[in-house]
Amino acid sequence: MDVRVAPVRFEGERWYLLPGLAPHPLEGAVTTRQEQGIEFLPGEGDHLLMFDASWYLEPWPAIDRALEQGAQVHAMVHDLLPIEQPVWFRPGLQQRFGCHLDALLGRVGVLFAPSVHVQQRLAEYVNRKGLSVELKLLPHGGDFFAGEPLRSPHGLPTSLQTGQGPIFLVTGTLEPRKQHALILDAFDELWNSLHPAKLLFVGRSGWKVDALIDRIDHHPRLHDRLFHLQQIDDAMLDWLYRNVDGLIYLSRAEGFGLPVLEASMRGCPVIATDLPVLREAGGNWPLYIQPRQEALTQALMHPASRKPASAGRTWASTLARLVATLENAYA
């Protein structure tokens, strides 16, 4: 079956078909203005995919209009953490996220989850609501960068390019469940014993981390052993995965754990929290530990060596699985 994939946007009840998506600045391409698109109305045979976080939007007038015309809507729920662990998030997100999810469940055709863990949690949630929703597994791919690998990373602090001392990378928004403070505690212990390791945080400053940000900004090792980059483009992240001595991923909970997969597909050693969902993403690649300072310190003292990259899973295979699922559901 021939399938046309196209980006769309909505305003109120109106839909607009876009000729393409303008490159994102972090893709490293020349940025262009996003075209507004041509107004159209989804209908019979159209499948609308809601795969990003949309709970701060109000899509339902547009969604309902499309459903009335015979379109189908499908969605990805990446995790249920705002409901299950509201203390980790901004105030009010639990209610907003829950209301959005409930509205989605009343309209969705196929609901996708990125991991077996999330699929099971969703099934429990749906059952508690007394609903019947088709849940399908759709794991992520790890090949986010398709360009030529960088030979020299422009804009990266020189001391991170010298090769003096092992470099460990931590990616992701600085937020409570990622445990950046615990990681920094372990490195402070190493630095106090004159260990030459370097620590690079890559991620935007998020919520409920004011004390952590203040600690980083005033740390005596900042720009020497400790580094924080708010954001980098895909080419730089690819270079880091290929050149650092390890990725540290000590999240307390995840829906998938994409950096673990991305790192493994570039031969980067990984130290990760021993969570079932991260074992789904990383398989046998990471060193799994309990998220405690002493366990991390020991892992850092005896780091794994780089080895040939794992084959991993591509986004093309994820797309093929998505299309096959919808073909089978609506054959």
Environment class of 77 (CB within 10 Å of its CB; exposed 0-12, middle 13-18, buried 19+): buried
156 Cβ neighbours under 8 A, 6+ residues apart? 236, 239
Structure tokens belonging to residue 35: 């075209």
Mean confidence (pLDDT) of the chain: 93
Q: Which residue, among 283, 282, 272, 311, has the nearest Cα to 143 in the 3D structure?
A: 311
Cβ–Cβ < 8 Å for 244, 104: no
**Collapsing DSSP states into helix, strand and coil, what is residue 212?**
helix
The fraction of the chain above a pLDDT of 70, given in percent, is 98
Distance CA(328)–CA(331), nearest Å, equals 5
Per DSSP, 31 falls in state P
Least confident of 20-24, 63-67, 190-194: 20-24
**Letter for the amino acid at 256?**
F
What are the distances in angstroms from CA 135 to CA 72, 141, 190, 257, 294? 15, 19, 46, 20, 40
Q: What is the pLDDT of residue 30?
A: 63
Given pLDDT bands bounded at 50, 70 and 90, which one contains residue 32? Answer: confident
Euclidean distance between CA atoms 101 and 88, whole angstroms: 18
* pTM exceeds 0.85, yes or no: yes
Q: What percentage of the chain has pLDDT greater than the value 90?
A: 81
Q: Does 52 or 104 have the greater pLDDT score? A: 104
- Residue 132 CB-half CA count within 13 A: 0
Tokens of 170: 């931590």
pLDDT tens string 55-74: 989 999 999 999 999 999 99
List, as own/partner pairs, every contact residues 89-98 make where C-beta atoms lie below 8 angstroms and the sequence separation is at least 24, other chains included.
89/175, 89/207, 90/207, 90/208, 93/55, 96/55, 96/56, 97/55
Residue with the larger pLDDT of the pair 26 and 274: 274
Q: Can you list the alpha helix ranges (DSSP code H) found in 4-79?
A: 60-68
pLDDT band at 260 (very low <50, low <70, confident <90, very high): very high
Residue 29 pLDDT grade (very low, low, confident, very high; cuts 50, 70, 90): low
Mind listing the domains of the chain with CATH numbers? 8-141+314-329 (3.40.50), 158-301 (3.40.50.2000)
